[in-house]
């Protein structure tokens, strides 16, 4: 696919991902390692990220969403494919050029307990990016900058000399966010930023992230498995299954007019905190587990759990495109979906 995905062609994408592939080799033997296969963690993914928007990526564990996050940062070398940041392919970069790009793409990690060094003070943690990129803040100015950042994320600037263990989970995640903001990046990649937090604290962190986005004109790639949170924060949503994008579109398109059976099943499985709505709606329960990415099913990868699967699904791989039957019609169902038998099915009782 050469044309940009999504529904906002007038804006320029800040990040373009094209056919991104990551295979982890499976080897046998100790001394003479030979490759016997590969775990196809990410297998040809394309999407665009526009300035100031939030792209949500959802999927079950093992679908490759965290690998995508690492590839976007070039923390893992891509097996094939490109990631263009302002026209520059970052998967080919190294050394100084990569360092410059990384200044603009930062990451917030899932677990605020292990992603902060317990032996460093909060000031050192948030100030560390300045050591690597000294041009952002001159040495004498750093302490003040760090205190500013603490204030921005809603922590008391006097906490600068405290250690991570003196903070609660939600506060630690704020520290992680402050560290991500330190270099004034354009893109922040958030890998499950709130899944380790309590419900009442989750809302605080989500609100903070929304506020920061407006304030600093940030673009987020928001990776999560909680569909209701993704919907709340995202402008566009991509659904991943076993290393492939199953469906991508605006949040209303995905949540109200899903056309891929996997998206429909995923949405219908979301626990709804209202017993009456819950009893009234239809639920699709998938059987079995996600197949191994080392040996994915032929054709459509979802076919082994799909109730619509036919012979065609086993032989022909469906491409991520707007289904032909919806192409000429102006309907919200006309968004990209990788299914031979894409059709609308309302699963969310609103």
Partner 1 sequence: MTTISKTSNVPAPRSAPEGTPLLEVRDLHVEFHTRDGVAKAVNGVSYSVNAGETLAVLGESGSGKSVTAQAIMGILDMPPGKIPHGEILFQGQDLLKLPAEDFRKIRGQKIAMIFQDALSSLNPVHTVGAQLGEMFRVHRGMSKKDATAKAVELMDRVKIPAAKARVGDYPHQFSGGMRQRIMIAMAMALEPDLIIADEPTTALDVTVQAQVMDLLAELQREMNMGLILITHDLGVVADVADKIAVMYGGRIVENAPVHEIYKRPAHPYTRGLLDSIPRLDQKGQELYAIKGLPPNLLNIPSGCAFNPRCPKAQDICRTDVPVLHQVTERDGSELPGRGSACHFWKEQIHG
Q: How many CB atoms lie within 10 A of CB 311?
A: 9
Stretch that binds partner 1, among 17-25, 44-52, 135-143, 162-170 (CB under 8 A): 162-170
Give the closest residue to 244 by CA, choosing from 56, 40, 88, 105.
Answer: 40
Give the closest residue to 81 by CA, choosing from 12, 22, 40.
Answer: 22
Give the closest residue to 187 by CA, choosing from 327, 41, 52, 291.
Answer: 52
Interaction of residue 178 with partner 1, rule CB under 8 A: no
d(CA 331, CA 249): 12
Interaction of residue 113 with partner 1, rule CB under 8 A: no
Interaction of residue 109 with partner 1, rule CB under 8 A: no
Interaction of residue 260 with partner 1, rule CB under 8 A: no
Stretch that binds partner 1, among 22-30, 79-87, 106-114, 199-207 (CB under 8 A): 199-207
Among 149, 187, 224, 265, binds partner 1 (CB under 8 A): 265
d(CA 212, CA 176): 14
User: Smaller CB distance to partner 1: residue 132 or 280?
Assistant: 280
Contact 219, 159 (CB under 8 A): no
Interaction of residue 328 with partner 1, rule CB under 8 A: no
What is the torsional sign of CA 217, 111, 69, 234? negative
What's the min distance (Å) between Cβ of 204 and partner 1?
A: 4
What's the min distance (Å) between Cβ of 59 and partner 1?
A: 9
Give the closest residue to 209 by CA, choosing from 197, 163, 24, 341.
Answer: 197
Among 92, 278, 312, 325, binds partner 1 (CB under 8 A): 278
Please report how many Cα atoms fall inside a 13 Å half-sphere around the Cα of residue 238, on the Cβ side. 25
Tokens standing for 272? 């709804």
Give the closest residue to 19 by CA, choosing from 1, 37, 4, 3.
Answer: 1
Helix, coil or strand: residue 188: strand
Stretch that binds partner 1, among 107-115, 128-136, 155-163, 195-203 (CB under 8 A): 195-203
User: Smaller CB distance to partner 1: residue 2 or 199?
Assistant: 199
Give the closest residue to 145 by CA, choosing from 177, 172, 182, 103.
Answer: 182
Distance of CA 318 to the CA centre of its chain: 23
What's the min distance (Å) between Cβ of 215 and partner 1?
A: 14
Interaction of residue 285 with partner 1, rule CB under 8 A: yes
What's the min distance (Å) between Cβ of 39 and partner 1?
A: 15
Interaction of residue 227 with partner 1, rule CB under 8 A: yes
Interaction of residue 279 with partner 1, rule CB under 8 A: yes
User: Smaller CB distance to partner 1: residue 58 or 146?
Assistant: 58
Interaction of residue 281 with partner 1, rule CB under 8 A: yes
User: Smaller CB distance to partner 1: residue 166 or 331?
Assistant: 166
Residues 12-71 that bind partner 1 (CB under 8 A): 60-61
- Which stretches of the chain bind partner 1, using CB under 8 A? 60-61, 168-171, 198-204, 206-207, 210, 225, 227-229, 231-232, 251, 255, 265-266, 269-276, 278-279, 281-287, 289-290, 305-307, 348, 350
């Amino acid at each position: 696919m050469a044309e940009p995905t999504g529904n906002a062609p007038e804006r320029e994408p800040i990040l373009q991902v094209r056919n991104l592939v990551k295979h982890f080799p499976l080897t046998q033997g100790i001394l003479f390692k030979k490759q016997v296969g590969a775990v196809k963690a990410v297998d040809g993914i394309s999407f665009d990220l526009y300035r100031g928007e939030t792209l949500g990526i959802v999927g079950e564990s093992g679908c490759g969403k965290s690998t995508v996050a690492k590839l976007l940062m070039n923390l893992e070398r891509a097996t094939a494919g490109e990631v263009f940041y302002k026209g520059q392919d970052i998967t080919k970069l190294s050394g100084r050029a990569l360092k410059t790009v990384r200044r603009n793409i930062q990451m917030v990690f899932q677990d605020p307990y292990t992603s902060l060094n317990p032996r460093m003070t909060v000031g050192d943690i948030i100030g560390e990016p300045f050591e690597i990129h000294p041009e952002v803040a001159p040495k004498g100015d750093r302490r003040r900058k760090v205190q500013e950042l603490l204030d921005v994320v809603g922590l008391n600037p006097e906490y600068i000399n405290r250690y991570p263990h003196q903070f609660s989970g939600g506060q630690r995640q704020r520290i992680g966010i402050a560290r991500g903001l330190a270099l004034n990046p354009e893109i922040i990649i958030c890998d499950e930023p709130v899944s380790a937090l309590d419900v009442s604290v989750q809302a605080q962190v989500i609100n903070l992230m929304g506020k920061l986005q407006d304030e600093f004109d940030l673009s987020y790639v928001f990776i999560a498995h909680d569909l209701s949170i993704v919907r709340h924060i995202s402008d566009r949503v991509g659904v991943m299954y076993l290393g492939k994008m199953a469906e991508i579109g605006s949040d209303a398109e995905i949540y109200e007019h899903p056309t891929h059976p996997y998206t429909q099943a995923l949405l219908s499985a979301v626990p709804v905190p209202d017993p009456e709505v819950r009893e009234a709606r239809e639920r699709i329960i998938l059987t079995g587990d996600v197949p191994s990415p080392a040996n994915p099913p032929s054709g459509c990868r979802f076919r082994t759990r799909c109730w619509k699967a036919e012979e065609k699904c086993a032989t022909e791989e469906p491409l991520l495109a707007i289904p032909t039957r919806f192409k000429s019609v102006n309907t919200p169902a006309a968004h990209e979906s990788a299914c031979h038998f894409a059709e609308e099915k309302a699963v969310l009782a609103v």
